[in-house]
Structures are given as structure tokens and as C-alpha cells.
Amino acid sequence: MFYILRRANGEIFTLQRGGVSYIAVWAEEQDVRRSKSANPDLMVYVLAPADERVLRRWFGDRPLRFFLVDGRDPDLRTGREISPEEVFGQVVLPKAA
């Protein structure tokens, strides 16, 4: 399970990397706490599971792009892009030819 940060109004915390907006996700709750303690501006956000329905409601039909924040570094600049399939645990099957 992956975690995101949400504000009381539903706003999802996103990061900008190379001009692209990503939904920040964390693999562990303690990783989120570490990031929040090192980044006071995140204190207005609460931890929530990365739920596809919630994210689709907020972002609509826009493609969902995710950035897995490195749990060892609370800086928010280290990590990697991951696919929606990794986040939601879905296996994408190739289309028949």
C-alpha cells in the first residue's frame, strides 16, 4: 500500500520535477512522518492511502503520474517515478494482436 498527503479540502500534495507535476507517494507511514517533520509546510496535510477513486475524483481524466519519495531522505527531491499500476497493485495485460 502506498500513502499520499491530502488537505482538509481534499487537495492532494504534488511535486514538480522537471516541469512535470507528480502525485507524491510514500511506501511506509514512517516515511511520511519523516518527510513531514523535515518539511513544516507539509503539516497542513494528513496521511491517506493512495485510493484510485479519490485521486480520479480530484484529477479527473488527467493522467496520474506518481513520484515515490525516497523514505531514507526526507528532502522530497530524491525518489523515482512509478506507474499507476505499481501504486494501485493492478497488472496491465498486453492487448491481443
Measured from the Cβ of residue 82, the count of other Cβ atoms closer than 10 Å reads: 16
Amino acid, single-letter form, for residue 42? L
The pLDDT, as a whole number, for residue 23 is 97
pLDDT one-digit tens code per residue, 10-59: 999 999 988 999 999 999 999 999 999 999 999 999 999 999 999 999 99
| Cα dihedral 11→64→22→95 (10° resolution) | 170
Residues 42 and 36 sit within 8 Å (Cβ to Cβ):
yes
The model's pLDDT over 52-97, given as tens digits with 9 standing for 90+, comes to 999 999 999 889 999 999 978 877 889 999 999 999 986 544 444 4
Q: State which H helix or E strand residue 96 sits in.
A: none
Give every strand in the sheet of 20-25, ordered side by side: 14-17, 20-25, 66-69, 79-82
Look at residues 19, 83, 91, 13 and name the one whose alpha carbon lies nearest to residue 48: 13
Domain map of the chain by residue range? 3-84
